[in-house]
A and B are shown apart, each in its own frame.
Chain A
Amino acid sequence: KNQVEQSPQSLIILEGKNCTLQCNYTVSPFSNLRWYKQDTGRGPVSLTIMTFSENTKSNGRYTATLDADTKQSSLHITASQLSDSASYICVVRAMDTGRRALTFGSGTRLQVQP
């Protein structure tokens, strides 16, 4: 069964600090991996997408890495801001020509404190 595991479940950091969120997956065959940010009371918004051949992708202060061999991804947030407080969801797509083949992680809840 395809699975996506995220760690930690929750994290509290001080404003200005860096942090790294982890995502391990067992989805096969792999197509791509995406990180979403979900603010409280809102729908998820896409941050980055990475295919098999990419191992790093940045979006401003967000940098995602992918190791397709070990089936791990991380999301690094640099110089955190209060607005980074949100849940971060890792989503993996399998190669599937039919049904929408996405597996969602349960997310990491990040709280940035002043």
Chain B
Amino acid sequence: DAGITQSPRYKITETGRQVTLMCHQTWSHSYMFWYRQDLGHGLRLIYYSAAADITDKGEVPDGYVVSRSKTENFPLTLESATRSQTSVYFCASSEVRHATNEKLFFGSGTQLSVL
């Protein structure tokens, strides 16, 4: 039972480069999310998707692009990486039957460093 997997686990890149973080889930959950986690901050929502081909902005979407052509995949792209995007990125999924009881299942994260 693979669940939700993220790749790569660690990534170092340079300012201005394009970077894509991958997320794959095996549960066929409808909803998928991208969060970033920075020291001293709670997790902040970047983008989310309610289904294939349906995406929407979260709290901090600037500088990021997402797509969801298949239910199981939800890649996050940094079009031109900046140092402020150095962070740990978490992908999550949920199968919402009742929003009040929604449970998020998180991947193990991608630690991204932008030099």
- Using a CB–CB cutoff of 8 Å, the interface residues on chain A facing chain B are 4, 31-32, 34, 41-46, 49, 51, 89, 91, 93, 99-100, 102-107
Contacts and interface: CB of A to CB of B under 8 A. Distances in A.
Nearest to B90: A43
A45 B106 contact: yes
A4 B103 contact: no
A104 B42 contact: yes
Given A31-B100, A43-B92, 16 more contacts: A32-B100, A32-B101, A42-B108, A42-B109, A43-B108, A44-B106, A45-B106, A46-B103, A49-B103, A93-B99, A99-B48, A99-B58, A100-B48, A100-B58, A103-B42, A106-B41
Contacts of A44: 43, 90, 104, 106
B31, B43, B90, B104, most chain A CB atoms within 10 A: B43
B33 A100 contact: yes
B109 A41 contact: yes
Interface residues of B, number: 23
Given A99-B56, A100-B48, A43 B107 contact: yes
Contacts, number: 50
A39 to B, nearest CB: 10
Interface string B83-115: 000000010100000011111101111000000
Given A44-B106, A99-B56, A103-B42, A49 B101 contact: yes
A43 B109 contact: yes
B45 interface: yes
A100 B109 CA distance: 20
Contacts of A42: 108-109
A51 B48 CA distance: 24
Contacts of B56: 99
A103 B43 CA distance: 8
